[in-house]
Amino acid sequence: DAGVIQSPRHEVTEMGQEVTLRCKPISGHNSLFWYRQTMMRGLELLIYFNNNVPIDDSGMPEDRFSAKMPNASFSTLKIQPSEPRDSAVYFCASRIYLANTGELFFGEGSRLTVL
């Protein structure tokens, strides 16, 4: 299996621009997570989906952030408009949700720099 695939790996954009990050989970996994990692705050959960349905989005910083999972094999995280404080590495992870168990598999991350 190819693992969790994220794109783009790196993105540099200017403040105010729209940013879209993409994630393809491992085939057969039915839980998908979006995390953000910064030096100051470490890893933070933004949102997670079970069976394509958003379960908890309380970690989404504000209305500028939105996430969708239109099908089991694809998810997007969108920031509009982007701000310099959004600069971070954004990770997607997936697992099999079964009775609260299931090892997490992470993508390589998308490094976002907002100028």
Tell whether residue 57 is a contact of another protein (CB under 8 A). no
CA-wise closest residue to 65 among 81, 48, 53: 81
Q: Residue 74 or residue 97: which is nearer to another protein going by CB?
A: 97
Compute the distance between CA of residue 13 and CA of residue 9 in angstroms, rounded to an integer.
13
Tell whether residue 104 is a contact of another protein (CB under 8 A). yes
Secondary structure percentages of the chain, helix, strand, coil, to 5: 5, 55, 40
For residues 59-88, which are near another protein according to CB under 8 A?
none
In terms of DSSP bridges, do strands 31-38 and 42-50 run parallel, antiparallel, or are they unpaired? antiparallel
Do 5 and 106 touch, CB atoms closer than 8 A? no
Tell whether residue 101 is a contact of another protein (CB under 8 A). yes
Instruction: Please select the residue that binds another protein; options are 15, 55, 96, 115, rule is CB under 8 A.
Output: 55
Instruction: Please select the residue that binds another protein; options are 14, 17, 51, 56, rule is CB under 8 A.
Output: 56
**Residue ranges in contact with another protein by CB under 8 A:** 33, 42-45, 48, 55-56, 91, 93, 97, 100-109
